[in-house]
Amino acid sequence: MKFLVCYEEADPSAKILKEALAHAKAWNASLEIVKTITRELPLKHKQILEMEQELEATVKAQLQDENVSTNTQLVVTQQESGEKLVAFADEQNIDMVFLGIIKRSKVGKLLFGSTAQFVILNAHCPVVTVKV
């Protein structure tokens, strides 16, 4: 089995990663840890490499001494994050998605959209949400 962890900044994502880890151990699953960046400005190759290294180091530090197969990936896209995460889950035959949710007002969702809402409504597999 493969689980997708939608990774953002370090503090809230530690909670999401902890929940996904517990499920991965119970189901003997591997974790695909993905951070998406919507490309708005030109990014230099060096910047992307630094972001990938930072992501991998952060995840490795949080999962040290854990016996779970992991793969980290930084996805730079011009699509919305939700669209790319759903497409990634479908392409990689992901069995379950883990993502964080933040309480927002209805107006906040209207103005800024909701990545979590898009993933929950469009993913082909179960989605576990973690309140961050």
User: How confident is the model over 32-67, as pLDDT tens digits?
Assistant: 999 998 777 777 888 888 989 999 999 999 898 898
Mean pLDDT of 4-13: 81
Looking at residue 29, what is its pLDDT?
97
What does the alpha-carbon distance between residue 5 and residue 59 come to, in Å, rounded to a whole number?
11
Tell me if 31 sits within 8 A of 21, measured CB to CB.
yes
Instruction: Read off the pLDDT of residues 58-98 as tens digits, 9 standing for 90 and up.
Output: 999 989 889 899 999 999 888 888 999 999 999 999 999 99
Looking at residue 97, what is its pLDDT?
97
What does the alpha-carbon distance between residue 77 and residue 64 come to, in Å, rounded to a whole number?
29
Looking at residue 3, what is its pLDDT?
98
Q: Which domains does the chain have, with CATH numbers?
A: 2-131 (3.40.50.620)
Q: What is the model's pTM?
A: 0.88
What does the alpha-carbon distance between residue 97 and residue 119 come to, in Å, rounded to a whole number?
9
Looking at residue 65, what is its pLDDT?
86
Q: For residue 31, which phi and psi values (nearest 5 degrees)?
A: -110, 125
Looking at residue 112, what is its pLDDT?
56
What does the alpha-carbon distance between residue 17 and residue 30 come to, in Å, rounded to a whole number?
12
Among 17, 10, 54, residue whose Cα is nearest residue 32: 17
Query: pLDDT band for position 17 (50/70/90)?
Result: very high
Instruction: Read off the pLDDT of residues 96-112 as tens digits, 9 standing for 90 and up.
Output: 999 988 877 776 665 55
Mean pLDDT of 21-27: 95
